[in-house]
Structure 1
Amino acid sequence: MRIIAEIPHHDFRITIFGWNNKYLIKFEKGSYEQTYKVSEMDVAGDEEIKKLLEDKGFVDSVISRFLEMNKSLNAALNRLDGQH
């Protein structure tokens, strides 16, 4: 696996990897991660995969998903705590 780019963002860390004829776009925020796999056949190269990260709707959905992940984990931990 090779690192293609690390994209600066104020809400999370973004790393793009190349692996097995796919691009992996990894978003990291605290203890949470989201990874998207995109076939190299679906984009015209490294620069186009980076352009995907300029899509506001996509990035906004990543932010929402991080919030939902945190909410889900906290709810599960609260339920677990209530069992003791």
Structure 2
Amino acid sequence: MRIAGYIEHPVLKITIFQMENKLSVKLESGLFEQTYKFRTGEQINTVEDIRKLVDDTFIAAVLEEMGRMRSIRSAGLARFGPEEEEEEFEEIL
């Protein structure tokens, strides 16, 4: 797999990868990432096709999904709960 290009965006890091008969686009924002993979012949055959695919509508959907991912992560961490702090001294009765 090799990097075939980048798509400039003010919020996301967008990288296009190419490997034999596959193209993929990875969109990253902080701790979150989404990758979409395509076999050539599925209407996506070139890096330029990926650039056309990743339009404002596509990016808006990705950002919305990343918002859901953040919520899922936060809810999971909240259920996990904070670690209980150990008391410095044993209680003597």
Q: TM-score, normalised by structure 2?
A: 0.80
Structure 1 regions of 5+ residues with no counterpart? none
In structure 2, the residue matched to 1:45 is: 46
Offset at residue 82 of structure 1 (A): 6.0
Q: Which runs of 4+ in 1 moved over 2 A?
A: none
Offset at residue 57 of structure 1 (A): 2.1
Contact kept in structure 1, 2:32 and 2:69, CA below 8 Å:
yes
How many angstroms apart in 2 are the aligned matches of 1:44 and 1:28?
A: 23
In structure 1, the residue matched to 2:15 is: 15
Structure 2 regions of 5+ residues with no counterpart? 85-93
- Deviations along 1:23-78, whole A, 9 cap, x unmatched? 11000100111000011112242211211112x22111100011000000000000
In structure 1, the residue matched to 2:3 is: 3
**Aligned pairs (5 A) from 1:63-78:** 63-78=63-78
Question: Highest Rg: 1 or 2?
Answer: 2
Give the secondary-structure state (helix, strand or coil) at the position aligned to 1:41: coil
Give the secondary-structure state (helix, strand or coil) at the position aligned to 2:70: helix
> What is the aligned-residue RMSD (CA, Å)?
1.6
Larger CA deviation: 38-47 vs 14-23: 38-47
Q: TM-score, normalised by structure 1?
A: 0.88
Figure out how many residues of one structure are paired with residues of the other and give that number.
83
Residue identity over aligned pairs, in percent, reads: 35
User: Is residue 51 of structure 2 the alignment partner of residue 27 of structure 1?
Assistant: no
Which has more helix, going by share of residues?
1
